[in-house]
Structures are given as C-alpha cells and as structure tokens.
Amino acid sequence: MSSPTHRLPLLKVDQLSAGYGELPVLHEVALEIYPREMVALVGSNGAGKTSLLRALSRLLPCSGSIVFNRRELIGATPDQAFDLGLVQVPEGRQLFDRMSVQDNVLMGSYRRRDQAAIRRDLDKIYTIFPRLAERRRQLAGSMSGGEQQMCAMARALMAAPVLMMVDEMSLGLAPVVVEQLMDVLAAIQRDGVTVLLVEQDVQLALSCADRGYVMEAGRIVHSGPAKTLIDDPSVQQAYLGL
C-alpha cells in the first residue's frame, strides 16, 4: 500500500469527545483513515472502542469534528452518515433471527433504489460467502455464530460501503472461523472498501491491518504502522503478554 501521507484522509476525526449523560467516555479522540486502508482500533474491554463507533455512526452525541469523504458529520443524522457510505457491522451481529438469511442480507440495501445493482451485488455476496448462498432460505437465528457473522458482514456489504466498520468480529468464534473471516476482510479491502477493524484481540487485528490505534480509557494512547505497534514493548507488555 502506498504511503497515506500524500493523500487526503477518507475519515478525519479531531478533538472528538462524547459521553452517556454525565459520564464521559471519549476524550479528544483524533485519528485518520485513508482510502483503501485496513486500520485496526484495539484496546481492552471498556476502552471506548464501541462508543467511538457509535459516535462515528451518529448514534452517540459528541463534540469535535468528524469529516468523512470531505463532509462534516457533526450534526448529521445516522441515516445521512449511512447514505454517505459509513456502514457498521455491529458487535453481536444483531440479525433478525426469525427472518431468512437472504432477507437479513437484503436489509443492508433498504435505502438503495437501483434494483439491478442490488441483484448484481447479491450475486457477488453469494460468491464471497458461498455458505450463505447454500442457506439463503434458512432462518438466520438457526445458523452457527460464524455463519451469523458472515451474514452480518454480507448485510453491511449490501449497503455499498465506502468505509466498513467491523466491531469485535472475532468474539466467541473459533480461530479457524476467524481466519476465514479475516481472509474475507482482506478481499473486501482489495476490492476497494476501506475497513476499520475494532478488536480486543490485539494480535489478530494488528497482524492484518496497515495501521493501528490503541485506545485506553476513551483516549488514543498509541498509533502508527501496525508492524511498529506489534513490536512496541509497551503494547507487547499491556496486550500481547510478552
């Protein structure tokens, strides 16, 4: 991947602060994501990673600046952020258990109008996730955790994301399934989608990402190329058990 220093960021966050009522959870967060990158946001449980995603998706009120695709999102609605291509794969998948796999996948395209493009993208999704093609008529809630994660990722892809934010993809899944999903994310990135991977599994996320940010107590405490972060003694001691 070429150096991001000569390109405009797709997402630029500056001085971002947010909280729940009187409880502050994000403190002057700043980060940048460039087109076609995979960026890891890592940290322990409770560090503020999911709250940051909620702020970026405009689900959590915040102050500061969120510039996405050259548009300021502070003051935007969740629908407006979604329509610009800022799409989230939520922690826990949040599928409609009593709906079929295909109906869940198509929920990602509910704001799109070009039916021919939707059909083409659905065919492409089934090429990426052949397991979902086999089970398209099955109830989503009856699938395994790994298959449900595939379904959640497929739903996000049907929204035609510019930036896909993936929250705790590996949670509760077997390592072999996580490896398959990481291969899919790499293929999605190669296809031109920018990826923000949010993970407690620091080794997993940084081993696959181009760059990374480490969050503690609602603040960014380390950032840089993923390889540099993996080799950083303070990151190794805090997160990698080295």
For the cut 80, the answer to whether the pLDDT of residue 3 exceeds it is no
- List strands edge to edge, sheet with 62-68: 23-33, 11-20, 62-68, 71-72
Look at residue 167 in the predicted model and tell me its pLDDT: 93
State how far the Cα of 69 lies from the Cα of 96, in Å rounded to an integer.
Answer: 31
Look at residue 5 in the predicted model and tell me its pLDDT: 52
Q: What is the pLDDT of residues 145-178, one digit of tens each?
A: 999 999 999 999 999 999 999 999 998 889 999 9
For the cut 90, the answer to whether the pLDDT of residue 220 exceeds it is yes
Report the mean per-residue pLDDT for the chain.
92
The confidence band for 50, taking pLDDT boundaries of 50, 70 and 90, is very high
What's the CATH code, domain 8-240?
Answer: 3.40.50.300
Q: What is the pLDDT of residues 227-238, one digit of tens each?
A: 999 999 999 988
User: Which is more confident, 66 or 240?
Assistant: 66
Domain ranges (residues) in the chain = 8-240
Number of neighbours of residue 111 by Cβ within 10 angstroms = 10
Task: Kindly state the percentage of the chain with pLDDT values over 70.
Answer: 97
Q: pTM of the entire structure? A: 0.91
Q: What is the pLDDT of residues 108-154, one digit of tens each?
A: 998 888 999 999 999 999 999 999 999 999 999 999 999 999 999 99
Q: Is the dihedral of CA 95, 171, 13, 206 positive or negative?
A: negative
